[in-house]
Amino acid sequence: MESSLTWKLRLFDCLSVPTLILKPNRIVVDVNTSFLEKFKTDIKQVVGNACHDFFYNSATPCPLENCGLAQVLADRQGHSVLRYMTTDAGEKWDNRVFSPILDAAGEVLYIVECIHDVTQLKLLERELSGAKDFTQKLIQSSTTAIIAADCRGKIVTMNPAAEELTGYSLKEAQEKITTKNLYPPGQAREIMKNLRDESLGGKGKLHLSRVTIVNAQGEEIPVELTAAIIYEGDQEAATVGLFNDLREKLKHEQSMRELLRRIYRAEKMASLGHLAAGVAHEINNPLTGIIFYSDSLLNTLEKDDPRRRSLTHIYEDAKRCGKIIKNLLAYSRQETPHTEILHVNTLLEHSLGLIRDAKFFMGIQIRKELSEDIILIQGDRDQLGQVIVNLVMNAVDAMDQKGTLTLRTYRHKPAQKAYIEVADTGRGIPKKNLPLIFDPFFTTKAPGKGTGLGLSTAYGIIKENKGHIWVKETSGKGTTFAVEFPLYQPSAP
Ligand SMILES: Nc1ncnc2c1ncn2[C@@H]1O[C@H](COP(=O)(O)OP(=O)(O)O)[C@@H](O)[C@H]1O
Ligand SMILES: [Mg+2]
């Protein structure tokens, strides 16, 4: 049987880790075979030399923080140090593990130094951290808002774009909210359900869906969301969401739709206007005849003649037709406007004066909120008067002989605009009718009561006068129509 010493010597030599045995004075007393192979040296070059001399060609020991041997001597315990070197073959990292061999008295007799090459590990580590840095930079600079949360919804990270979108700083988000607070009630749960649904982008993935988020100020923001669950094994570990703000896009789409509707309306009005003008001209002559002859006939009849009733009907209905025709002609802009400078308050009073029939306003309170400034605009008094009359008549029609009719004038000096508003406390305009009310012949009134030409005529006239007309407000509590004009600008003398 071999002695235990021989075993120990063989063990020393067959260790695949290069190993030295040193005396406390740093002189190498032995090295194993792996050491000789690794450092391509023979035993005579090493043994008997100081370690700093062999490894670093230095006459003095390494500083304490780099010298595992000195650390072992200080506390008689094992220590390891990481050493970095550049060699002809490139960079090299060693993890050097120093262990004491103690004598019976507990003093350090020898130090064993094992040299583990950790170069591969270190290079990999560096590569990984480089990749991590890169990913981090990518996330930080992305204009898409990115938010990651753990499986309980606690925010783990978010990039600056997400901070801007949500109005929370990362710290606030981590401390104050979970992903649930980022959505209107119930929506977070819905999103998680969709994420796990295999038919929507695959399990753990959610492709582009339109959702609403709620920012720190409580505002709802429409966004496009792409989301994913991050799995560890088959466990859900985290979720990540990519959000794109849709506000700009939706605003753009809305103005495009508005533009198309305006073009459509303008075309419709132009063609209808053409037709209306033709018909109006054709009918005007025979109508003048009917009015003239029925009037003359009426004058020849006795006061109690039974035919008077029918004849009066003929006369009045023909007059009404005449009025419709006048409207049609105004609408198709067959009447040349007479432009003059008008004071909006006077225009309003003058228009109200046109509706002489006091019965018309019965039960309705008229409130005037007229500006004290002198607001001047330029336009055709009769045409604009007609617009106001139409708005006032509609307002009264909507109120069923009760409520308040408010007439308002004001101006916005910086924008150089004048405004007239006609507000009622009537039944309001249903949402579905709003896109139609300015269309010619659109009416919700009983036949004989409404022609559907009031607002379309108004629209045409206001356009002609370089203004705008729109429904500023409507609900079950009433409607406000607003008309905007450019302020009159006296040209410099
Ligand atoms: N102030 C208002 N309140 C409620 N509905 C209104 C108001 N003004 C207009 N409308 C709606 O718009 C329609 C079109 O108006 P208009 O062009 O003046 O035609 P008409 O008055 O002959 O019906 C009306 O029939 C009504 O449905
Ligand atoms: Mg009307």
| Residue 133 CB-half CA count within 13 A | 6
**In the chain, what are the domain boundaries?**
4-122, 142-245, 247-335, 337-493
Q: For residue range 97-132, what is the model confidence (pLDDT) as tens digits? A: 999 999 999 899 999 999 999 999 988 888 888 888
**CATH H-level superfamily of 142-245:** PAS domain (3.30.450.20)
By alpha-carbon position, which residue is closest to atom 12 of ligand 1? 437
CA of 418 to the centre of ligand 2 (A): 23
Query: pTM value?
Result: 0.47
Q: Given the CA of residue 453, which atom of ligand 1 is nearest to it?
A: 17
Banded pLDDT at 492 (limits 50, 70, 90): very low
Choose which CATH entry (3.30.565.10, 3.40.50.300, 3.30.70.380, 3.30.2020.30) describes domain 337-493.
3.30.565.10
**Residue 197 confidence (pLDDT) above 70:** yes
CA of 17 to the centre of ligand 1 (A): 96
CA of 276 to the centre of ligand 1 (A): 20
By alpha-carbon position, which residue is closest to atom 1 of ligand 1? 395
Q: Given the CA of residue 450, which atom of ligand 1 is nearest to it?
A: 22
The four Cα atoms 272, 278, 279, 285 give a dihedral, to 10 degrees, of 150
Q: Which fold has domain 247-335?
A: Helix Hairpins (1.10.287)
Say yes or no: CB of residue 444 within 6 Å of ligand 1. Answer: yes
Closest CA to 194 of 229, 159, 146, 232: 229
CA of 454 to the centre of ligand 1 (A): 7
Closest CA to 322 of 287, 278, 270: 287
CA 44 to chain centre: 77
**Residue 484 confidence (pLDDT) above 60:** yes
Q: Which of 269, 393, 394 to mutate to test the pocket of ligand 1 (most atoms within 8 A of CB)?
A: 394
Banded pLDDT at 306 (limits 50, 70, 90): very high
CA of 293 to the centre of ligand 2 (A): 30
The pLDDT of residue 241 is 93
**Ramachandran assignment for 376, one of left (phi > 0), alpha (psi -120 to 50 degrees), beta (any other):** beta
Rounded-to-integer distance, Cα 163 and Cα 166, Å: 5
Is the fold of 142-245 the same as that of 247-335? Answer: no
**Residue 493 confidence (pLDDT) above 60:** no
Say yes or no: CB of residue 34 within 6 Å of ligand 1. Answer: no
Rounded-to-integer distance, Cα 356 and Cα 363, Å: 16
Rounded-to-integer distance, Cα 57 and Cα 276, Å: 108
Choose which CATH entry (3.90.180.10, 2.40.50.100, 3.40.50.300, 3.30.450.20) describes domain 4-122.
3.30.450.20
Task: Evaluate whether 190 touches 140 at the Cβ level (below 8 Å).
Answer: no
Closest CA to 377 of 408, 347, 407: 347
Ligand nearest the Cα of residue 399 is: 1
Task: Evaluate whether 348 touches 423 at the Cβ level (below 8 Å).
Answer: no
